[in-house]
């Protein structure tokens, strides 16, 4: 799995640096890279990134989410959710697809909608 490195210098990208702590709601347009600490819910229209060492305690809504740090909260993403090796994630993850790398610590619920129709032939 290739790590999706956020482009910090993209004009569309908001960055909460490693020395930044936010208590409260964070919302906005475009992408968000979280390198510090957020206690509160996050809602952005673009992709969200939680860098290694960063912490979010709150729910996240974003186009997609890439977690390398620590997240305690529920995630709703229209696109993919990726949990990287070294990440610590706890909560419910709802995304178009969810990937989890070995080496992460997780206690998550995945509520992916799909049919699982296991049919077995009748007993002879």
* Closer residue to other proteins, CB minimum distance, 12 or 110: 110
User: Cβ–Cβ contacts within 10 Å for residue 122, how many?
Assistant: 5
Rounded Cα distance between 12 and 81, Å, is 20
Positions in 10-29 near other proteins (CB under 8 A) = 21
Q: Are strands 65-67 and 80-83 parallel, antiparallel or unpaired?
A: parallel
Positions in 36-55 near other proteins (CB under 8 A) = 37, 39, 55
Question: Does 63 interact with other proteins (rule: CB under 8 A)?
Answer: no
Rounded Cα distance between 86 and 108, Å, is 15
Binding site for other proteins (CB under 8 A): 1, 21, 37, 39, 55, 57-58, 70-74, 80, 82, 88, 90-92, 94, 97-116, 118, 120-121, 123-124
């Amino acid at each position: 799995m290739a790590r999706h490195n956020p482009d910090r210098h993209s004009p569309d990208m908001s960055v909460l640096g490693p020395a930044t702590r936010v208590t409260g709601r964070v919302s906005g347009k475009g992408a968000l890279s979280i390198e510090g600490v957020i206690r509160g819910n996050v809602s952005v229209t673009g992709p969200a990134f939680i860098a290694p060492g960063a912490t979010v305690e709150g729910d996240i809504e974003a186009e997609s989410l890439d977690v390398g740090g620590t997240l305690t909260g529920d995630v709703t993403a229209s696109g993919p959710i990726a949990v990287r090796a070294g990440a610590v994630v706890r909560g419910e993850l709802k995304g178009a697809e969810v990937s989890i790398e070995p080496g992460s610590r997780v206690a998550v619920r995945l509520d992916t909608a799909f049919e699982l129709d296991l049919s077995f032939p009748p007993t002879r």
